[in-house]
Structure 1
Amino acid sequence: MQLDIVVGFFVLGAVAQLLRSDLRLPEGLYKSCVIFLLLAIGLKGGVALSSSPIATLVPQSLAVVAFGALLPLLAFPILLYIGKWSRVDAAATAAHYGSVSVATYAVAVALLDSRGVDYEAYFPLFVALLEVPAIIVGILLAGAAAARGNAGHWGEIIREIFLNQGVLLLLGGIAIGAWAGERTASVMPFFGDLFHGILALFLLEMGRVAAERLPAIRKQGGFLLSFGVLMPLMGAAAAAGLATLLGLSPGGVVLLAVLGSSASYIAVPAAMAVALPQANASLSITLSLAITFPFNVLVAIPAYLALVQHWS
């Protein structure tokens, strides 16, 4: 099971933090990397979308949206009844695990590209679609009291869901790619050829941030670590089953498993801060960023690819 080269930069960032190095990406550069990755993924998906049959996309998209709504329903009772978390904390964290991590998806794409594994190029559409339903389900799971307390903020919540940086840039890139089609060739030397290098820089900082949160894991106990590993595996298994039913390629099965396995640490925290400000955000962020993200990058993604290649 061989890791992609970009994962080495994640490990470097983590090691640097553990050794108390002063290594840190400038905030402006980190934000630029995020913008670049979202637009690059969106553009590539938009170009593929322009030539994809609607008859195939619509049922697959509806199935993916339904899957995104169901994942929080799987995570919520585990957190509420086994973890003994409060209803609001369990609902907010469940929403993180129903949504997706674009960075995790980018690592999976980089691995598939480096191995020459084909996949449905319109997958960025699924990434964008999976950002929304889990947030709505998470708010509903928080209960009537929490919903009433935030009734006046629904306009702000909806704005945060659909106009946050991640969703806006991803959907914008998809729209531009679908509109421009082959004309995107003029910008692809930038958004295409530099993708792996920018991803490596981004993962360097992600490794440092993940290692920075390791003390929080020790404070929270074994449940946090167990859930942060087992929930992604359950989500990946369900997603792989769905991908098989949808007739996706082996590469598509891997990518949907990765989306089911990942957890948001950008879009959902921003939406939950507005919708459920009483939730303990440190629990969700520690789980998604310090446990699930490293697990996916270092272990799960290459394992999913190996398993799919073995059985296909």
Structure 2
Amino acid sequence: MDFLSDFLTLFLAKLQSPTLGFLIGGMVVAAVNSRLTIPDPIYKFIVFMLLLKVGLSGGIAIREANLAEMLLPAAFAMIVGILIVFIGRYTLAKLPNVKTVDAIATAGLFGAVSGSTLAAALTLLETEGIEYEAWAAALYPFMDIPALVTAIVLASIYNNKQKQRRAAEEQLSKQEYLSKQPVASGGYSSGQNVAAGGRPKKQQVERVKVWPIVKESLQGSALSALLLGLALGILTQPESVFESFYEPLFRGLLSILMLVMGMEATARLGELRKVGQWYALYAFVAPLLHGLIAFGFGMIAHVITGFSLGGVVIMAVIAASSSDISGPPTLRAGIPSANPSAYIGSSTAVGTPVALALGIPLYIGLAQALAGG
């Protein structure tokens, strides 16, 4: 009971944080149809600055870290990213009136990582004085890329199977039609696609090329900014500019980003209504479930390697997040048959607010309760 009481107290306290306050404020501003707008170039610049700062801090830490300590958390991040996509494939895709390719794309977006949600979590961890490995932010690509690749591969396999099934049905229909027609002398073949015994030949399966998917992910603006920061942090000595410029601006820029995301979440509610209640249910439950799964893997790393509880929280948060910048264009290119309103609407209207307002306080409160115990 003491554990539960401490956890609930800590959880409620997180909901009153300034970061989450700006998110809720943005949602309220949009709900009352305010004309307040934040230009898109400013939003993109803020995201770039935040992720570059996160990358720099991670790169500086990696330069001084024992790389062996990173192996298990990185492996777990990859496993969680792939697992999230399979969970969506065999849960959301099975619900009524949900198209399989739309479900796979949605699961891929929820398996990918939101840089802004990660930045919010890092700020709250620092506010609470919870220590974490600075390189933990580098787990981002280990979860993000495998999730996107897995989603696109699964969607391609599914689409190929559907094409084969349709082709087989067409060939069988054609064969049945021809069998009812009189055969003239020197009759004709029923088609090159029909094998001996009247069965249609299997269509050649198109191979999924993985490298273009990885390349597309690496070239995304969010991941590029993070990787650039990591490279600069590892290969150069950016401490002076980091402490004098990036560090002081971080929380102010993050507050504006949360305001924009709150406004965007409310604006996307209309898109979510188009694709039905099942996506809303998935988008509410999935971030919390994914985060708890990652939290469990993180605790295994905590026991085995001494991975900090703050690092466990970061792993849970990136699992709970859904990509808001690099993921949508990657999925548009990789799964063009999927409906963007389904996966983008689910993510921005429900998934991201749940991850920010409920997920981050939940995992931080859980980590603090465990530390107190």
TM-score (normalizing by structure 1): 0.93
Distance of 1:18 and 1:149 partners within structure 2: 48
User: Hey, what's the Cα distance between the residues in 2 that align with 1:46 and 1:281?
Assistant: 34
2:106 counterpart of 1:47 = no
C-alpha distance in structure 2 between counterparts of 1:77 and 1:161, whole Å: 24
Q: Counterparts of 1:115 and 1:155 in 2: how far apart (Å)?
A: 40
**How many equivalent residue pairs?**
311
| Cα deviation, residue 152, structure 1 | 9.0
Query: Structure 2 matches for 1:1-312, cutoff 5 A?
Result: 1-2=12-13, 3-144=16-157, 146=159, 156-181=212-237, 183-247=238-302, 248-312=307-371
Distance 1:241 1:311, change over 3 A: same
In the alignment, which residue of structure 1 is the partner of 2:198?
none
**Corresponding letter in the other structure for 2:324:** Y
Are the aligned partners of 1:156 and 1:274 in contact in 2 as well (CA < 8 Å)? no
Note the C-alpha offset of 1:151: 6.0
Q: Distance in 2 between matches of 1:12 and 1:125?
A: 30
> 1:83 and 1:265, CA in 2 relative to 1: closer, same or farther beyond 3 A?
farther
Residue segments in structure 1 that go unaligned for 5+ positions in a row: none
Deviation at 1:254, TM superposition (A): 1.4
- Amino acid of the structure 2 residue aligned with 1:178: I
Amino acid at match of 1:289: T
Q: Which runs of 5+ in 2 are unaligned?
A: 1-11, 161-203
- Aligned partners of 1:65 and 1:133 also within 8 Å: yes
TM-superposed CA distance for 1:64, in Å, is 1.6
1:115-165 CA distances to partner (integer Å, 9 max, x unpaired)? Answer: 111111101210122220011100121143646998698665443111111
Q: Which has the larger radius of gyration?
A: 2
- Aligned equivalents of 2:274 and 2:217: distance in 1? 31
**Percent identity of equivalent pairs:** 30
Secondary structure in 2 aligned to 1:294? Answer: helix
Distance 2:153 2:212 in 1: 16
Query: Structure 1 residues 262 and 242, CA, compared in 2 at 3 Å: closer, same or farther?
Result: same
Deviates more, 1:164-173 or 1:3-12: 3-12
SS in 2 for 1:100: coil
Q: Report the aligned-residue RMSD.
A: 2.0
Report the residue type matching 1:60 in the other structure.
Answer: P
Answer whether contact 1:161 1:271 (CA < 8 A) is retained: yes
Deviates more, 1:142-151 or 1:156-165: 142-151
Q: Deviations over 1:57-115 (max 9, x none)?
A: 22332222222122111121111112542221111111112111111111111111111
CA 1:226/1:176 → structure 2, altered by over 3 Å: closer, same or farther? same
Residue-by-residue CA offset, 1:240-296 (whole Å, 9 max, x unaligned): 111011112121121111111111122121111111111101110111111011112
What amino acid is the match of 2:326? A
How far has the Cα of 1:233 moved from its partner? 1.7
Say if 1:48 and 1:213 are closer, same or farther in 2 by CA, change over 3 A: same
The one-letter amino acid of 1:294's match is: P
State the one-letter code of the partner of 1:232: P
Tell me, yes or no, if the aligned pair for 1:44 and 1:177 is still in contact at 8 Å.
yes
For residue 174 of structure 1, what is the amino acid of its counterpart?
L
SS at match of 1:111: helix
Shift of 1:6: 1.9
Distance in 2, Cα, partners of 1:304 & 1:187? 28
CA contact (8 A) 1:150 1:276 kept: no
Farther off after superposition, 237-246 or 157-166: 157-166
- Shifted more, 296-305 versus 168-177: the winner is 296-305
Contact 1:146 1:276 in 2 (8 A): no
Change (3 A) 1:279 1:143: same
Aligned 8 A contact 2:51 2:119 in 1: no
Are the aligned partners of 1:4 and 1:110 in contact in 2 as well (CA < 8 Å)?
Answer: no
What CA distance in whole angstroms lies between the structure 1 residues aligned with 2:60 and 2:246? 13
Q: Report the residue type matching 1:179 in the other structure.
A: L
